[in-house]
Amino acid sequence: NAGVTQTPKFRVLKTGQSMTLLCAQDMNHEYMYWYRQDPGMGLRLIHYSVGEGTTAKGEVPDGYNVSRLKKQNFLLGLESAAPSQTSVYFCASSNIPVTDTQYFGPGTRLTVL
């Protein structure tokens, strides 16, 4: 039981490049989330999903897209990376309505030059 995994762990992009971050969970959770963490800003919700095939915007969705084609996977895409997107990205999942405890992945550290 791996819990929540994220790939890649680190990535450096140039401005304007695109990339996809992959999150996978093996706990059969319905809800999945993407957060970004910046110094002094806590965790801010980018997008989330309440089930396979559904996505919704969070607090800071601009510049990002997501897809949830399979229940266990949640992808975060950056179509044209900007330096402001330099951050640590965390994926999380929760087993709502049983409990809304969130289980986090190890994170992806992204630097955009």
Partner 1 sequence: GQQVMQIPQYQHVQEGEDFTTYCNSSTTLSNIQWYKQRPGGHPVFLIQLVKSGEVKKQKRLTFQFGEAKKNSSLHITATQTTDVGTYFCAGRWGAQKLVFGQGTRLTINP
Residue 106 engages partner 1 in binding (rule: CB under 8 A): yes
Q: Least distance to partner 1 from the beta carbon of 92, Å?
A: 8
Residues 68, 95: Cα–Cα separation, whole Å: 16
User: Which of residues 59 and 79 has its CB atom nearest to partner 1 in the complex?
Assistant: 59
Stretch that binds partner 1, among 9-17, 68-76, 77-85, 93-101 (CB under 8 A): 93-101
Half-sphere CA count of 40, side-chain side, radius 13 A: 0
Residue 103 engages partner 1 in binding (rule: CB under 8 A): yes
Residues 33, 94: Cα–Cα separation, whole Å: 9
Q: Least distance to partner 1 from the beta carbon of 1, Å?
A: 16
Q: Least distance to partner 1 from the beta carbon of 12, Å?
A: 18
3-state secondary structure of 63: coil
Half-sphere CA count of 35, side-chain side, radius 13 A: 17
What residues between 19 and 78 interact with partner 1 by CB under 8 A? Answer: 33, 35, 40-45, 48, 58-59
Residue 107 engages partner 1 in binding (rule: CB under 8 A): yes
* Binding-site ranges for partner 1 (CB under 8 A): 33, 35, 40-45, 48, 58-59, 90, 92, 99-107
